[in-house]
Chain A
Amino acid sequence: MIKTALSKAAATAEAVGELATQLQGAEASVVLVFYSSRHDAREIARLARSAWPEAHTIGCSTSGEIVSGEMTDGAIVAMAIDRRVAAEVAVAVVGDMSNPRRVDAACQQLGALLHGDLGQHVGIVLMDGLSGKEEAVMDRLGDLTDLRFIGGSSGDDLAFSATSLIADGEALSNAAVLAVLHVPAGYRVIKTQSFCRAGKQLTPTRVDAAKREVIEFDGKPASEAYCEAVGARTVEEAGSRFMSNPVGLMDGDEPYVRSPQAFDGHALKFYCAVSEGIELDLLQSTDILADTQRALAEANSDGRVIGILNFNCILRTLELKAQNKTEEYAKLFSLPTAGFSTYGEADIGHINQTATMIAFLGVDAGAEPA
């Protein structure tokens, strides 16, 4: 069983109390809590630990929450996954994201679950969205395990000041929380970014990876090359195209989206790092609602999905808000769903303008594993 809960109460204790009431009856092995940054992380961590003492409690601050059929701001949402769905759970913390070697120690703590059957074990990764170090954590994690880690970067209601995470009673910053779930019935990964190829390529020929900046594309100043690619006459005009025309590192037909953030002189700053010498495709936005609907239908074509964790990029949420479509988006999630609007998404690597989701499957003795 997977249960979800929502509280819009302003007082943190009251809000967590409401979540606990709504989640009653679930013998949870893990409870995920996603909370607006107006709540104090230490209080959330403590109260969550107290409310679900038998379960692991993990979560992070958001820039908007997602719960079955509703998108909110300023609230708290939670998902309780019971022991029949997640038979075993291990949690570890990467306490300092600026040192990727700390991932090794965290992985040691995750123990045997980290090397379990790939169809029955899935990882969740939550990272500080203002650390600027998500690539390094995902990179090292990918070195150390073949398990799929899905997740997102914590938000702070677009203040870009400070985000937080929680893990088993502790409040954290500049940290990553790793969890591995043994899910005997299996799971499916949904990754949807709602972009198609625009038919133009840009190859970074000079980058500053640490600053997530491209200095030159194809030997030209990055600002000039991007303006040419999108057909903009000025950088101001080009800047207005960032959301609809990011670039994608193509894995076959699958883009790993890199979203431009701002021009920095003639350089172009991104929300995640890009590699020098690897061609990127200019992307064109498509319909988030139609793409999401299709992705969900494909993932649940046999009706086995019983709950969804959704890590949806804040830029997608902003686009939905601009089009007044958040309600329609939320209604696509009629199954028990929880998640949040992120400052970055994770699936194998760190990506932008994407929704990464874990679809948990129900226990069904006759069904094939995922």
Chain B
Amino acid sequence: MKGMQEVAGQVLVLINKLIDARAKGNPTVASTTRTKLLLKGIKAESWTPSSADDPAMLAKVRDVAREMGVAI
């Protein structure tokens, strides 16, 4: 529809922001953070730049970031 913008890939963007902010360049922490997300029900590999945005998953990633004390 004219005037509406389709946004995609925001889940992946947020996941990567969370991992980067937590890891601060440490690859070991990046890897364990990815595993922690998986155990919380967020599988990073399932999301691509073209994945449709899922509001529930976006909210979940934001919640996890807040619990981890990470600003995204």
Contacts and interface: CB of A to CB of B under 8 A. Distances in A.
Given A118-B29, A146-B29, A148-B32, A276 B41 contact: yes
A143 B28 contact: no
A139 B67 CA distance: 10
Interface of A: 118, 135, 138-140, 142-144, 146, 148, 249, 251, 256, 275-279, 348-349
Contacts of A349: 35-36, 39
B30 to A, nearest CB: 10
Nearest to B45: A252
Contact of A139 (B22, B28, B29, B40): B40
Interface in B56-72: 67-69
Interface string B21-48: 0100010110011111011110100000
Query: Which of B22, B39, B40, B67 gathers most chain A CB within 10 Å?
Result: B39
Given A118-B28, A118-B29, A143-B68, A278 B35 contact: no
Contacts of B38: 249, 251, 256, 278
A140 B69 CA distance: 11
Contacts of A139: 36, 39-40
Contacts, number: 47
A18 B38 CA distance: 45
A220 B72 CA distance: 37
B41 A143 contact: no
- Chain B interface residue bracket vs A: 10 to 19
Contact of A142 (B26, B28, B36, B43): B36
A118 B69 CA distance: 19
18 contacts: A118-B26, A138-B39, A140-B67, A142-B36, A142-B39, A143-B36, A144-B69, A146-B29, A251-B34, A256-B35, A256-B39, A275-B39, A275-B41, A278-B43, A348-B32, A348-B35, A348-B36, A349-B35
Given A142-B39, A348-B36, 12 more contacts: A118-B26, A118-B28, A139-B36, A139-B39, A143-B67, A146-B22, A249-B38, A251-B34, A275-B40, A279-B43, A348-B35, A349-B36
Contacts of A256: 35, 38-39
A111 B28 CA distance: 22
B23 to A, nearest CB: 8
B36 A278 contact: no
Contacts of B35: 251, 256, 348-349
**Interface pairs A-B: 9 shortest CB-CB:** A275-B41, A349-B39, A142-B36, A143-B67, A143-B68, A146-B29, A348-B35, A251-B35, A278-B43
Nearest to A119: B28
A148 B31 CA distance: 12
Contacts of B29: 118, 146
Contact of B32 (A135, A146, A249): A146
Query: Which of B22, B35, B67, B69 gathers most chain A CB within 10 Å?
Result: B35
Given A118-B28, A118-B29, A143-B67, A277 B41 contact: yes
A144 B36 CA distance: 12
A333 B36 CA distance: 30
Nearest to B24: A146
Contacts of B43: 278-279
